[in-house]
Structure 1
Amino acid sequence: MSRRSFAQLGWGLLLGVAFVVMAAPGAWAQTSTGSIRGYVTDSSGTPVAGARVVAVNIATSAAREVPTQSNGFYALLGLVPAEYDVTARQIGMAPQKIRVRVLIGEVFPLDFKLAASAVQIEAVSVVAAAGVEMRTSEIATNVTQQQIERLPTASRNFLDLAALAPGVTISDDRINSVSRTFTAGGQSANTVNIFVDGTSLKNDLTGGGVTGQDASKGNPFPRSAIQEYRVISQNFKAEYQKASSAIITATTKSGGNEWHGNALFGYQNKDLVALDSLQRKAGITTKPDYTRSLASLSLGGPIQRDRLFFFASYEGNYQNRTSLVHFPTPAAGFPDLDTVNIKTYNGNFGSPFRETMVFGKLNYTVNPKSSAELSFSTRHETDVRDFGDRPHNCPEDMCAFSEAVNFRQDISIGQFRYNRFAGAWLNETKVDYSRFRRQPSPNDPGVPARVYAYRDTSGNMTNNFIGSNLSIQDFTQRRVGLRDDLTHSSGGEHVIKMGASLDFVAYDVFKGNDETPRFAYRDSVNGHSYKFRNPYELKYGTGNATLNKNNQEVGAYVQDDWSPTPRLTINVGVRWDFESKMMNYDYVTPQNVVDTVTRYRDSMPTRLDLSRY
């Protein structure tokens, strides 16, 4: 069982201080939202206290209102990334309205200068403001909804566009690939993390940074459900956890007052894919059969206008490819090897991949000061793979189709979020449940495995595998997470955010390694002649392959974005994480195993250290 999450057993402390000189006002991080802040002054530049600043979501008509402070400062926190009409009003002054687009994780700086007026009039509309590149202590790149919709990628994996961020690399979309991960900062994929609507997609039991992606050619989340995301490659703040190189925080689409939908179908076959340089160098001239069909449907709209909205999406990723099994012809002189008829296992065999992803979401505007959101996503996939030659993950030089693995993965996430706004305060509460399951097992179980090591007619030694795959594995992680974040803006100088999380995690692991008997055959071993008549080695695993453990993960942080001047922001943050039982320190080796190891220790090639058992 591999361990690659950020938090470690025991006490952990992370203290980060970042300084940045800025040409525009500073920004503070939000896990899946954005913000607007600025100053309201009169035509002479004098601050206007008590003015009303209202932001109205164009899609849902949801309104947020805050008053300006004594220095004219205001802050609209926790805004869903979208377009807003922002209006500033004060009695005796002409109101002003500006349309802006708020991006995830960013602050849009928006100042108003109101002119005196004898009577209250309608707001004066200003041409929509263009997106502003914010400068913060974070090194980040925003991938917008327009980029997601208009920049094509053959696989429709939304992570492909993370390569727009400097220093971020996405693994190639190759026909024979079995993983699609991203890396940053020269570190491995285990050091990254992805948050979708604030929920982490990291798995404590498996590697790759994003659950499933280290062993899947599929997509981690429906692209049609992602509205936009932010890639933070350096200097991410204390509110993020379980990462040391890069963070991706994404927000999903929501329904609005107008119906909207999308349908897409993509198709690719071998005629649309060229042989790469490595294949040509290896002398491969014929392309294997291959097709990929991508289907996507989405629909969103109102259930109750201005109050309750829904959005749903479906994506299917269906791939058919073939892998060549070509056992070399054995050299003559071994009649017992000839009876195996190993060449009868040759041929092109199908390697189907199937992935289905579904996402649904309800948004409810409770009142002008609070909102609620309920969402659910599921991902199911199967992949028949790991046969053919070594580049196709065969453990030997060549593997028969009977050795194929059916690699199954099921990922389900449900969450409820409730946000409450009151003046300069924002409280964000989230409850989530996730279930990650990985279940690789033999596609053709029950056939004893046989490995034949022989020289072919050219004199080359080869290892060749027929029979069932050796192992059955099942990794399941279930998590119930509670999180609360509190943000307060003070006079335009301080934006203080603090939060705590508590996760209850259960791990159910089955690792039936080598439960398929494996018989190894050779001509001779260490001077002993076998002539492929009898196996010289039997490898077989047995015993209790089950592990069931519970774990509690606690995290807390506090951070402050302090702007002593309009051109300087200092970010100070501290984070603490604790886990109760990630490591299985309670395991005790069964006495019968200890007795067996003790009895046969002296006859083993290398004496065992019994203190380990």
Structure 2
Amino acid sequence: MALAIGLLAAVQVFAQVGSRTLSGTITSPDGSRITTSRLSIKNIANGDTKSVSAKHDGSYVIRNLLPGSYEITVSAVRGVTNSNRVSDLPLNGRSASDVAALEPGVARARTQSSGEAQRGFGTQMTIAGGRPRQNDSRLDGISVNDYANGPPGSALGVNLGVDAVEQFSVLTSNYPAQHGRSSGGIISASTRSGTNQFHGDVYEFFRNSALDTRNYFDTKKPPFRRNQFGVSLGGPIQKDRTFIFGDYEGLRQSLGLTQVDTVPSPAARSGNVSSGQITVDPNVLSFLNAFYPLPNGSLLASGDTGIFTFSGQQVTPENYFTTKVDHNFSEQDTLNGTYMFDVGTVRQPDELNDKRTGYDSRRQFFTLNHAHSFTPGFLNSFRFGINRVVATTGLTFPSGNPLASDPSFGTVPGQNAAGVMVTGLTGFTGGLGARSNFHFHWTSIQAYEDISLTKAKHSLKFGFGVERIRDNILGVSDPGGVFSFNSLSDFLTNLPFSLSAAIPTTITERGFRQTIVETYIQDDWRLLPNLTLNLGLRYEMAT
């Protein structure tokens, strides 16, 4: 007699607990419940098998399942057998964050631009209409939000390691009480594990500008090269007991950028502007000739300004590595740990090709998860994790203009040329070391305890957690000063509207400390075979 599995409750994927739950109802082809059945689920990768008997209404619950592919076998006194496969969620693209944006109700934030370290480097997404910083991103049950409460990401804005992701899920709304910390969506991922067989791959993805079209503003097509390569390998250390998995991914990118600037025309530099003849201040003229190139394109309507266009390369190397070790003490006890490291840098020309600018990112992640099954319906899970993010923005480096490092053009003592903002001109961000720069050091230490208990028609889950946050920020705003001018004529005659500059003796690091304590209880109460009531209560406190 063939049996069918009717999943009245879809497979539940809650990465916060560090394990998965499979629940459903066993029915015959005519829809009647089979109460004398037994379900066996086997992990195809490592052979781990769990069995459970169906309840009087044909329902079943199997907890503490690691992410992966499983074979399900149902047997009954009256006959046997049918099997289904529980497969991983599909992943597409080289950045794991791209998967979330494909989910219904999820959209990218259109206002995000690269290099904005103050808002984090990860892909900003709105989930169910919420703000991007209302979301919580989790890896192996540990929150990996950064110092801006944004999603994880590197200096290039990607989240490498897609080959190391076993499972990926997005909860957009109506999630249970066990999830908290943020009021938006929950983005969860889990790291792949090794198996009883050695499996691995070596890959490279290559892209260049050969088939790209020329940008409208390009005088010629700028070169572009991207090499994305890596290797992953997993297998047993001790068969059926201990497994290891590792993944490395490297990215090397050189992206051509075309910059279109508005600069003063030769006539304006000589004092001949559309509003009449003026006397150009000699200090301003020296500054102009040092840092503002002459137009190499057409003059604009008044003739006071013209277009200067140049192309430069944005160079980005990035390296990502992760490893995971799993150990089965017994069928009731499992332990696993994950370590991840990612470092990336970006270097590119500034707005007027006077210097190179850049920003860096470095991420480290560690988690330890222990699960113990007292009985098939009584599970305890403990998780400990550390998430550390270091980011720096506003870096400057020498390039083709040696005057960018000449302090004789400086305004603030000991600094190089100040920045200049003029209405109608491309802004100049100053000489070397003159840009605003920020240094972020974020460390989050987390521990969680979760207990699951299935009794009669109730599936209870309760637990507590604590997170200690250390957030150190050093922000230096306009160390070299920034002059603002209301018009080109005011600039040429040296009549600034304002000067903004950091006072050196007041620049100090800011350290923020916060502790988040949380507890919850929830109950999935199966009132009827086709009716389940989800109850939950959660409390969080931040100091």
Normalised-by-shorter TM-score class = 0.7 to 0.9
Which string of whole-angstrom CA distances, capped at 9 and with x for unpartnered residues, describes residues 104-156 of structure 1? xxxxxxxxx4317xxxxxxx553x3266xxxxxxxxxxxx64732xx4x3xx1
Instruction: Give the conservation status (yes or no) of the 8 Å contact 1:26–1:563.
Output: no
Give 1:525 deviation, angstroms.
8.7
Distance, in Å, in 1 between the alignment partners of 2:487 and 2:84 is 78
Residue 168, structure 1, aligned to residue 110, structure 2: no
8 Å contact from structure 1 (residues 324, 348) kept in 2: yes
**1:476 Cα offset (Å):** 1.1
Give the match for residue 84 of structure 2.
129
1:217 to partner: Cα distance: 3.0
Query: Which secondary structure state, in structure 1, belongs to the residue aligned with residue 90 of structure 2?
Result: helix
Partner amino acid for 1:419?
A: A
Alignment CA distance shift 1:130-1:56 (3 Å) = closer
Report which stretch shifted further, 472-481 or 340-349: 340-349
Counterpart position of 1:323: 257
* 1:210 alignment counterpart: 151
Q: Deviations over 1:240-280 (max 9, x none)?
A: 123323211112211101111112111222234446xxx64
Question: Bigger CA drift: 509-518 or 227-236?
Answer: 509-518
The one of 147, 152, 155 equivalent to 2:90 is: 147
1:73-222 → structure 2 map (5 Å cutoff):
73-87=59-73, 96=75, 113-115=76-78, 126=82, 128-129=83-84, 145=88, 147-148=90-91, 151=92, 153=93, 156-170=94-108, 180-203=123-146, 205-207=147-149, 209-212=150-153, 216-222=155-161
Structure 1 residues 490 and 291, CA gap change in structure 2 (3 angstroms) = same
Q: Aligned equivalents of 2:78 and 2:178: distance in 1?
A: 40
Contact 1:56–1:64 (Cα < 8 Å) also in 2: yes
Unaligned runs of 5+ in 1: 1-21, 89-95, 97-112, 117-123, 132-143, 389-398, 581-613
Equivalent pair of 2:137/2:152 in contact (CA under 8 Å): no
Matched-pair contact (CA < 8 Å) for 2:14–2:188: no
Q: Describe the shift of the 1:184–1:273 C-alpha distance in structure 2 as closer, same or farther (beyond 3 A).
A: farther
CA distance in 1, matches of 2:344, 2:245: 23
SS at match of 1:220: coil
- Counterpart-to-counterpart distance in 2, 1:406 and 1:177: 8
- Note if contact 1:521-1:537 (Cα within 8 Å) is conserved in structure 2: no
Question: Cα 1:247–1:536, aligned 2, differ >3 Å: closer, same or farther?
Answer: closer
Please list the CA deviations of residues 171-205 of structure 1 after superposition, one character each: whole Å capped at 9, or x if unmatched. 689997865322222232112121111111112x3
Question: 1:556 is matched with which residue?
Answer: 519
Q: Does 1:473 align with 2:473?
A: no
1:263 corresponds to = 202
CA distance in 2, matches of 1:553, 1:158: 27
TM-score (normalizing by structure 2): 0.78
Name the SS of the counterpart of 1:339 in structure 2. Answer: helix
Answer yes or no: is 1:308 the counterpart of 2:242: yes
One-letter code aligned to 1:297: V
State whether residues 201 and 210 of structure 1, in contact with CA within 8 Å, keep that contact through their aligned partners in structure 2: yes
1:348 maps to 2:302: no
CA distance in 2, matches of 1:540, 1:174: 27
Q: Does 1:499 align with 2:463?
A: yes
CA distance in 2, matches of 1:423, 1:304: 25
Structure 1 residues 381 and 450: alpha-carbon distance in aligned structure 2, compared to 1, 3 A threshold:
same
SS of aligned partner of 1:306: coil
1:267, 1:172 → 2: CA distance?
A: 27
1:427 alignment partner in structure 2? 380
Tell me which of 446, 470, 475 is aligned to 1:511: 475
- 1:36 aligned partner: 22
Change (3 A) 1:410 1:249: same
Q: 1:184 to 1:269 in 2, by over 3 A?
A: same
SS of the residue 1:211 aligns to = coil
Shift of 1:416: 0.6
Q: Which runs of 5+ in 2 are unaligned?
A: 1-5, 272-279, 295-307, 399-404, 406-414
Quick one: structure 1 residues 255 and 453, their matched pair in 2 at CA, closer, same or farther if it must change by over 3 Å? closer
Give the AA of the match of 1:440: T
Alignment of 1:334-345 (within 5 A): 334=280, 336-340=283-287, 341=289, 342-344=291-293
Task: Map Cα deviations across residues 397-436 of structure 1 (whole Å, 9 max, x no partner).
Answer: xx4442x542111111101101111221111111111211
Cα displacement string for residues 336-392 of structure 1 (whole angstroms, at most 9, x for unaligned residues): 44433234597433321222111000011110111110110011111125832xxxx
Relative to structure 1, the CA distance from residue 463 to residue 438 in structure 2 (aligned partners, 3 Å threshold; closer, same or farther) is closer
Using the alignment, how far apart are the partners of 2:89 and 2:250 within structure 1? 22
Residue equivalent to 2:46: 60
Q: Label 1:570 to 1:386 Cα distance change in 2 as closer, same or farther (>3 A).
A: farther
Q: What amino acid maps onto 1:244 in structure 2? A: S
How far apart in 2 are the matches of 1:38 and 1:538? 65
Q: Are 1:572 and 2:515 matched, yes or no?
A: no
Assess if the C-alpha contact under 8 Å between 1:56 and 1:85 holds in 2. yes
> Residues of 1 paired with 2:471 and 2:34: CA distance?
60
Q: 2:305 is matched with which residue? A: none
Q: 2:491 aligned with 1:545, yes or no?
A: no
Q: Is the Cα–Cα contact under 8 Å of residues 67 and 88 in structure 2 kept in the other structure?
A: no
**If the length of structure 1 is used for normalisation, what is the TM-score?**
0.70
Change (3 A) 1:187 1:74: closer
**Residues 28, 495 of structure 1: 8 Å contact kept:** no
- Give the letter for the 1:314 counterpart: Y
Structure with more relative contact order (C-alpha pairs < 8 Å, separation 6 or more): 1
Once the two structures are superposed, the pairs formed by residues 348-497 of structure 1 within 5 Å of their partners are 348-385=311-348, 387-388=350-351, 399-402=352-355, 404-421=356-373, 422-444=375-397, 448-452=416-420, 460-468=424-432, 469-491=434-456, 493-497=457-461
Q: Secondary structure at the match of 1:443?
A: strand
Number of equivalent positions: 482
- CA deviations 1:451-506 (Å, max 9, x no partner) are 44668xxxx55543441342232111222211011111222x22111111012222
Output the aligned Cα RMSD.
3.5
In 2, the alpha carbon distance for the partners of 1:189 and 1:254 equals: 30
Q: Secondary structure at the match of 1:470?
A: coil
